[in-house]
Structure 1
């Protein structure tokens, strides 16, 4: 039943997602083939679990490798197609495909799938925002993928509530079978109760045995005396021996992650898009003569500073750490996604600042940007610095804590909770 339930996901919402992906075509279609392969690899693993006993933890990694390799291929495809017109589609899948790692989670794997679904929500929302007015097919694509993960979560709740269930029968394919049973132990020796050793069938003479028992305290006279060199408290060397047995602990197995490869830093212009990636310890990055149709995309830069000269369309910082950006003016917006300890300074005007899943963001505004709109979600330690006019700034934190209540009209009313600490 467990395998049948998972097959229903593959033939149901996943099949819809694949069909719509082929209709969209391009990178989305190619990416969907990798996703199908990943689900098929998990199907094989679930079939193995339904037919076999759970293998040793040391062998689970090898059995999970086909699934983990497919997950890596899906994520690497996104990394190698960052300039794709469907980058948000690729990112939505790459951020949430790790949901297939639920087979290594216990005792509650279902919430893990929901977390992965939520992780891809940022990009599915961007797909909806970009395409809902252009082409409804992309809206159906989002619904099919989200439904696939929702059905996966429901499937786990029904069949594997506390973790992957193994059948307990047979030996998992690829595992080492247990050794064959050894020879049975020899039968116990036959005790001859004929004290006299007579073997002629006469009655057993037990008189000698009872005589020994009736000696009372004298029965111990024949025992050897324990000398000082035999006593452990007087001879410490006798206490030295092998260390006591310690049970080894086995860590929970996780999906094998690909080895991180340090990619070379790049600074290239691809059409109207400036791609700045993997820059480290570089504070001399400059985009000069920017045009209003240009966009800047910074990815995985660390401890670096970028200066943009000229007015351009938009700026995005994705997965950057300790990175700063200074620019003149923007037509659209600047976005911070999955960043840590970042700073920005606008010298002219910026209409919108978006902060998502970012910890630590310092925003230096100019006098021309005081009408800016700042949109934040799932972020912390955000501060806006407003110029006073004397070269100094007033620092104001962006609220992170809110209180929501149900009104008399059965709607929600939310207000800021000020930090008194």
Structure 2
């Protein structure tokens, strides 16, 4: 019944997701092939579990999970290699939530873990809806199909594997023999072949499920960097002893030097400013209303944008400041540390996601701005006064939620009394 239930997910919501992905095309279509392959690998593993007893050796379990962990790593690697893609939010939504397939290593409550991964991708699915719902309904259908896939996966796990993966057989499987093919037929993929993971993702693949037998603690292994690994929060990590954590794709050179040459280029309507270090003379001249500025992995830099621009994205930057005239759509901070922005004209929306330390200097014309924050800390809005000074206001980071008599949730801001 477990195998049949999982096959229903593949033939239902997942197939719908794959079909809409092919209609959208491009990177979304290619990414969906890898997602199909990940679910196929998990189906083969569930087939094995339905015929075997749990391996006594945890290393054997890792061998059986390797096909799934390999393709999860390839899915996330694909996102990292396509950061300039038009569909980057689509790729991010999948990459942030695909670790839901790691529920097989979680106990005693794997179903909530699936929901947690589904929620992790919601930030990006909301962006997809915001950017595309008025342009192309297929993207709305794409979001619905993917969210439905993970919702059905959560229900499946809750029904068939409530307290953890159930091994139904009596004979332990041999680690030297690959899992048997599933007895239930898979629907044909929308495209001919599944793309194999790239060779440079080998380190990511080998590390992804390296501690697969930690039970519920697997959640920490599927996140990129925890607070105790961040040197800006733990200065002691810089002073001998343990070396700071370096995740996949982090700068390998000493002194935080970028591992790629700096980029400052205009590619059509997009300005790309990447891997710049200690450069305070970066200026985007004569920006136009249909232009987009994308900053990636800049450290200790100052960027000035002259002219009215459509939007600005600051991604994985540290100790970097950006100064702008006016923005038509939004300014977005993602995975940043110690960043600042100043706007002289208008900006309708500022988005701050997974960022520690963000100072926002507003103008009189931008006081109607909407600020959306998620998983961020140390954020301050500086509001101008008539005398030319600024009033600094912190953005709340702590909330209290209670249950009302009507069985709904009420959430309020918890003020820091200092």
TM-score normalised by structure 1 residue count? 0.73
Assess if the C-alpha contact under 8 Å between 2:62 and 2:212 holds in 1.
no
Q: 2:294 aligns with which of 292, 297, 303?
A: 297
Q: Which residue of 1 aligns with 2:185?
A: none
Equivalenced residues, count: 349
Q: Which has the larger radius of gyration?
A: 1
Q: Which residue of 2 aligns with 1:235?
A: none
Shift of 1:414: 6.7
List per-residue Cα deviations over 1:68-88 (Å, max 9, x = no partner).
Answer: 221122222222333333222
Gaps of 5+ in 1: 177-248
- In 2: Cα distance, 1:122 partner to 1:52 partner: 39
Shift of 1:378: 4.1
**Which SS does the other structure have where 1:44 is aligned?**
helix
Assess if the C-alpha contact under 8 Å between 2:285 and 2:307 holds in 1.
yes
Shift of 1:39: 0.5
Shift of 1:345: 1.6
Q: Which residue of 1 aligns with 2:390?
A: 393
- In 2: Cα distance, 1:412 partner to 1:165 partner: 34
The higher relative CO (CA closer than 8 Å, separation ≥ 6) is in: 2
Assess if the C-alpha contact under 8 Å between 2:105 and 2:212 holds in 1.
no
Q: Which residue of 2 aligns with 1:274?
A: 271
Gaps of 5+ in 2: 178-210, 225-246, 252-258
**Which SS does the other structure have where 1:309 is aligned?**
strand
Shift of 1:390: 5.7
Residues 150/419 of structure 1: CA separation in 2 closer, same or farther (3 Å cut) = same
Assess if the C-alpha contact under 8 Å between 1:48 and 1:173 holds in 2.
no
Assess if the C-alpha contact under 8 Å between 1:18 and 1:29 holds in 2.
yes
Q: Which residue of 1 aligns with 2:36?
A: 36
Residues 100/281 of structure 1: CA separation in 2 closer, same or farther (3 Å cut) = farther
**Which SS does the other structure have where 1:252 is aligned?**
helix
- In 2: Cα distance, 1:406 partner to 1:75 partner: 37
Q: Which residue of 1 aligns with 2:214?
A: 252
**Which SS does the other structure have where 1:331 is aligned?**
strand
Shift of 1:44: 1.3
Q: Which residue of 2 aligns with 1:184?
A: none
**Which SS does the other structure have where 1:328 is aligned?**
strand
TM-score normalised by structure 2 residue count? 0.73
Q: Which residue of 1 aligns with 2:135?
A: 134
Alignment of 1:16-415 (within 5 A): 16-55=16-55, 56-167=57-168, 169-175=170-176, 252=214, 259-260=248-249, 262=251, 263-264=259-260, 265-388=262-385, 392-401=389-398
Residues 61/259 of structure 1: CA separation in 2 closer, same or farther (3 Å cut) = farther
Shift of 1:314: 1.3
Shift of 1:13: 0.9
- In 2: Cα distance, 1:322 partner to 1:92 partner: 27
Q: Which residue of 1 aligns with 2:208?
A: none
- In 1: Cα distance, 2:403 partner to 2:375 partner: 22
Shift of 1:278: 3.9
- In 1: Cα distance, 2:328 partner to 2:212 partner: 55
**Which SS does the other structure have where 2:141 is aligned?**
helix
Shift of 1:260: 3.8
Residues 303/68 of structure 1: CA separation in 2 closer, same or farther (3 Å cut) = farther
List per-residue Cα deviations over 1:16-69 (Å, max 9, x = no partner).
Answer: 111222222222222111110010011111122222232311233332221122
